[in-house]
Structure 1
Amino acid sequence: MRIAMVSEHASPLAALGGPDAGGQNVYVARLADLLASRGHEVSVYTRRDDPDLPDTVPLPSGAVVEHVRAGPARPIPKDDIYAYVPDLAARLERAWRRRRPDVVHAHFWMSGLAALPAARAAGVPVVQTYHALGTVKRRHQGAADTSPAERAGAEREIADGCARILATCTDEVRELGLMGVGPDRCSVVPCGVDTAHFSSRGRIALEPGRRERYRLLAVGRLVPRKGFDLAVRALTRLPQTELVVAGGPPADGLLKDPEAARLLTLARRLRVADRLVLLGAVPHEEVPALIRSADLVLCTPAYEPFGIVPLEAMACGVPVVATAVGGHLDSVADGETGLLVPPGDASALAEAVRTLLDSPGLLRSYGRAGRFRAVDRFTWERVADGVERVYARVATPVPVPSGAPR
C-alpha cells in the first residue's frame, strides 16, 4: 500500500522536548518506520523549517520524509502555521497528482485541513488523527489558548470530510460525540511504547528503610498543561520525598525557561525547593534508566489527549499515579498498574502516592502488572496492526488494467 502521512509541525526527525515536539513526533516516526518495514511505501510530509534541509530524507526503515515549502523556512510557533495551510495543500495536491497514494493519514487538525482538498483532487481517502482537540484545549486553557479562532470549526469540517477518524483513546470518541461526530465514524487505536527500549531490566524494588528519600519522577514537555505544579504542591504532604522533573530545554537553559522559573518560584514559596530537581532535557537513550530509578512516576496534566509517559513507566515496571483524564483512562489500570486521581487535586495526589510508598508489596505488584499490560496491549506492533486495519477499510485499490499482473 502507498501511504502518505501529513504531519505539518511534528516531524519524525525533530528532537523531542521542545514546546511543539513531543508525543505526536514519536507516534508518526514509529508508525512510519513499522509500516515501511512491513513492505508499505510510506512518505511523511512535514513543513520545511530550515533552508538547508534536503527535500527528501530517507529513513533506515525505507520510509521517507518530504520537506514541504509552506511559509518561512525557519521554526515558527505551531499556531502560526495556520496561515500557510493553503500553500501546504497546494503542494500536497501537486505531489499526489504526480504519484497518487492509496491512503492519506493526517496528523493534527492543520494537517487534515491541508490534506483534505489535496486528497479530494487526487481521489484519495483521508484518515484523520487529531492528537488533540481544540474544543478540549479551549475548555481547559480559556483565554490562554493561542489556537486560531477557526480551529473548532475546522476540526468539525475535517470530521465531515475524512473517510475515518482514528482516535487514540475512548475519551476522544466521547469528546468527538460532543462535537456531533458519531462513534460509528471513529476507530480507536492507542499510542504505543517500545517495550525493548523501555524495559524493566535493572529495576530495583523499593526496600523499606534503605532509602534516604523516595523518588517521584515526572517526564514531559515543560509547559503549564502538563501539571507539574500539582506534583510540586503534593510535595508539601510528602516528607522524605523528592520530585525529579525531566523535560524542557537543556539544563543550561532552564534559568531562562518561563515554566521552569514558575515551578522553582512555587517550590520556594512552599518551602520544598530543596526536594525539587529540574533536569532539563534528557537524551532518549537515558530515559529508561531514569524511569527505573524512580519509586513512582507521576503524570499530572489537567487534560491529556493520550500520554505516552504512563506507557513508558509501565513498560519499565514502575507504577504510575496519574490524573483521571483523556488517554490515562485507557492506559493506566486503576488499582492494578497504578492509581488514578482527580485532576487538580494535590491532596488526592499526595494520598495516592503515600498509599503506594507505604506498601512495597503493592508497588512491586503494580510494577509487574504494568510491564505485562504494556507488552500485552501497547506495543508499536499492536498499534501498526490496528492502523493497517483502518487503512484497509477506507483505501480504494488503484484499478489494474485487464491482463496486467496483480
Structure 2
Amino acid sequence: MLPSRVATVSLHTSPLDQPGTGDAGGLNVYVVEVARRMAERGVAVDVFTRATSPDLPPVVELAPGVSVRHLAAGPYGHLDKNTLAEYLCPFIFGMLRAEAREEPGRYDLVHGHYWLSGKAGVAAARRWNVPMVQTMHTMARVKNAALAEGDLPEPDARVRGEDQLVHQADRLIANTDDEARQLKEHYAARDHQISVIPPGVDLDVFTPGPRRAALERIGLAPDTELLLFVGRVQRLKAPDVLVRAAARLLERDPSLRSRLVVGVVGGLSGGGMSEPRMLADLARSLGVADVIRMEPPQTRERLADYYRAATATVVPSHSESFGLVAVESQACGTPVVAARVGGLATAVGERSGVLVDGHDPADYAAVLHRLIAEPGRRDRLAEAAPEHAATLGWDRTVDDLLDVYRASITPYAAPAGLPLAAAR
C-alpha cells in the first residue's frame, strides 16, 4: 500500500536553509530531494521543523505536494543542537496540534531525520497509530570514536536518546552497509529493522562540463590547480587537513604556488562557530594564506561550476555517514580524494577517486601532487567519475524508500506503550 501523506521531521534544521552553513548540510539536501520526488509519485509530504523567527509563515509550500510546517519550540534564533533537546515537548505538541486541525488519519507514516527529530517522530507516530521510520544521518557513538583534535564529544544525553530511538523505531534507514553495521554494533539494532538505502545526487544539476570554462566562470585563471573543499567549516569535516596538505604540497613543489588555489566553500558550523578564524589563522601560520580562497555556501548551479573547475575535491572528514559532496563532485566529472571513513568508502568509486587511510596531511599532499603531476591519471579518474555517480541518483533512493514505506504500513499495529514516552 502506497502512503498518501508522510510526516517528515527535521527539527533542528529546515529544508529551506542553505546547505553548507550552520546546521544545514547533506541532511537538508536529502529531505528536500526525497520530498520532491515523493510528491511527484503521488505521496504528499509535510516537513515539520522548528521556527527560528516569528516572521516565518506557519506553512510554506516548498514544491507542489510538499509543505514545510514551522513549529514554535523554544526561543527564536539559532539554538545549539544539544540545547534543542530541552524543547522536544513543545515541538511534539505542535505536531499533534497541526494534525488535529486536519481530517483524521492525515498521515500514514512518520519519517524522522537525526536523533532529535526521531524522538519527536516516535511520540507523534504512536499517538497517530502509524509506523515510524528513522534515518540517523550521524550517530554519537560513531562520532565520539573518531573525534578531531580539539573537538568536543557528543553528550551522554544524545547517546541515551539514540539507544532509545533505535529500539522504538519500526524501521531504520542506513545510508551504507557500514552504517548498518554500526547500528547493530553500537546500538544493538535488529536485522529486520534495517534497510540500506544510499542517498543520491541530482543528475540534472550536477553534470560534467569543460574545466577551463568553469574556472573562468568562478574567476580563476585557466591553468589553476584548484583543490576544493565543500561543506560546513568545523573540525569534524577537517578542512584543516587540506590546508596543511597544501603547505606540504608547496614545500614539495614551490613552483605550484603561482597556480595553486585551495577553495573552501561553506560556512561556519558547530564548534567552528566558536573559533571563526581558526582556518585563516592556520593558513597564515603555515605561510599559505595567499593560496586560500574562502567562499560562502553557493547555489547548486554555482556549486556545480566549482566542482567542474577543481583538479580534485577533497573530503578529509573524521566521520561521514555518506558524503554527498563526494558524489556531487564525481557527477560533475571531478575526482575525489577522501578519508577512508564511514560512507565515503561507498560514495567514492574505486576508479573515480582515492581513499586515504587516516588524516596525515603528508599522505593527502602525496596523492594530490600525483594528480597534478600526472594529468593523465587525473583525467582517467575524471572520466570514470560520472559513471559511478550515475548509480546513485535520487530516483533510486525514493524507489527503495517507497518499498520500505509500503512494507511498514501493510499491515501496522503500534507497539504498546505510552504515546509520549519518547519525549521524556
Q: TM-score, normalised by structure 1?
A: 0.89
Aligned to 1:252: none
1:58 alignment partner in structure 2: 61
1:295 aligns with 2:326: no
1:217-252 deviation line (CA, Å, top 9, x unaligned): 111111111111111111123231331111116xxx
**Distance apart, 1:116 and its partner CA:** 0.8
Match of 1:243 in 2: 262
Instruction: Report the Cα offset of residue 129 of structure 1.
Output: 0.3
SS class of match (2:199):
coil
Tell me, yes or no, if the aligned pair for 1:79 and 1:146 is still in contact at 8 Å: no
Specify the alignment match of 2:138 in structure 1. Answer: 132
1:83 pairs with 70, 80, 86, which one?
Answer: 86
Superposition pairs for residues 11-50 of structure 1, below 5 Å? 11-50=14-53
Deviates more, 1:125-134 or 1:278-287: 278-287
In structure 2, what is the equivalent of residue 345 of structure 1? 360
Counterpart Cα distance in 1 of 2:179 and 2:157? 20
Counting only pairs closer than 5 Å after superposition, residues 135-154 of structure 1 correspond to structure 2 as: 135-141=141-147, 144-145=151-152, 147-154=154-161
Contact 1:93/1:119 (<8 A) preserved: no
Q: How far apart are the structure 1 equivalents of 2:205 and 2:352?
A: 19
Contact 2:18 2:297 in 1 (8 A): no
Aligned match of 2:179: 172
Alignment partners' CA distance in 2, 1:245 and 1:64: 33
1:117 is paired with a residue of what secondary structure? helix
Higher mean C-alpha displacement, 74-83 vs 302-311: 74-83
* CA-CA distance at 1:328 after TM superposition: 0.4
1:231 matched to which residue of 2? 242
The answer to whether structure 1 residue 379 and structure 2 residue 388 are counterparts is no
Equivalent residue for 1:388, pick from 379, 402, 412? 402
Deviation string for 1:125-150 (max 9, x for gaps)?
00000111011222333884364431
Alignment of 1:370 onto 2:379: no
The residue that corresponds to 1:403 in the other structure is: none
Aligned equivalents of 1:57, 1:371: Cα separation in 2? 34
Give the percent of matched residue pairs that are identical in Structure 1 and Structure 2: 36
Q: Compute the TM-score of the two structures, normalised by the length of structure 2.
A: 0.86
Contact 1:102–1:398 (Cα < 8 Å) also in 2: no
| Distance in 2 (alpha carbons) for counterparts of 1:165 and 1:199 | 31
Work out which structure has the larger RCO, using CA pairs closer than 8 Å and 6 or more positions apart in sequence.
2
2 CA distance for matches of 1:354 and 1:379? 31
1:185 maps to 193
Consecutive unaligned residues in structure 2, runs of 5 or more: 215-220, 251-255, 414-424
Does the 8 Å contact 1:223/1:259 carry over to 2?
Answer: no
Residue identity in the other structure for 2:264: V
Contact in 2 for aligned 1:288/1:316 (Cα 8 Å): yes
Deviation at 1:54, TM superposition (A): 1.3
Q: Which amino acid aligns with 2:147?
A: Q
Deviation of the 1:59 alpha carbon: 2.3
**Offset at 1:303?**
1.0
Gaps spanning 5+ residues in structure 1: where?
Answer: 250-255, 400-406
User: 2 CA distance for matches of 1:157 and 1:112?
Assistant: 10
Q: Is the 8 A contact 1:227 1:302 kept in 2?
A: yes
Distance in 2 (alpha carbons) for counterparts of 1:354 and 1:144: 29
Total equivalences in the alignment? 388
Distance (Å, rounded) in 2 between the aligned partners of 1:154 and 1:337: 38
Distance 1:363 1:205 in 2: 18
User: 2:248 touches 2:365 (CA, 8 Å); kept in 1?
Assistant: yes
Cα deviations by residue, 1:162-185 (Å, 9 ceiling, x for unpaired) = 110001122211211222223332
On the 8 A contact 1:36/1:42 being kept in 2, the answer is yes
Runs of 4+ in 1 over 6 A off after TM superposition: none
**Which range moved further: 93-102 or 292-301?**
93-102
1:19 offset after TM fit, Å?
Answer: 2.1
- 8 Å Cα contact 1:245/1:279 also seen in 2: yes
Write the distance in 1 (CA, Å) between the matches of 2:242 and 2:130. 46
Q: Give the alignment's Cα RMSD to 1 decimal.
A: 2.3
Matched, 1:119 2:125: yes
Contact 2:7 2:109 in 1 (8 A): yes
Instruction: Point out the more displaced range, 181-190 or 2-11.
Output: 181-190
1:10 aligns with 2:8: no
Contact persistence 1:315–1:374 (CA under 8 A): yes
In structure 1, C-alpha distance between the alignment counterparts of 2:279 and 2:407, rounded to whole Å: 47
Does residue 222 (structure 1) correspond to residue 230 (structure 2)? The answer is no
- Further displaced range: 259-268 or 159-168: 259-268
Q: Secondary structure at the match of 2:406?
A: helix
Q: Distance in 2 between matches of 1:200 and 1:122?
A: 46
SS at structure 2 position matched to 1:352: helix
SS of equivalent residue, structure 1 residue 181: coil
Three-state SS of the structure 2 residue aligned to 1:353 is helix
Maintained 8 Å contact 1:102/1:396: no
Q: What one-letter code is carried by the residue in structure 2 that aligns with 1:341? A: V
Cα deviation, 1:76-99, whole Å, max 9, x if unaligned, reads 222211001122222323444554
Residues 251-310 of structure 1: CA distance to partner in whole angstroms, max 9, x if unpaired? xxxxx9655521222222222222222123333331111111111111111111211110
Q: Which moved more, 1:197-206 or 1:112-121?
A: 197-206
**CA positional deviation for 1:356:** 2.1
Secondary structure of the equivalent of 1:199?
coil
Distance 1:289 1:168, change over 3 A: same
8 Å contact 1:8–1:46 — kept in the other structure?
A: yes
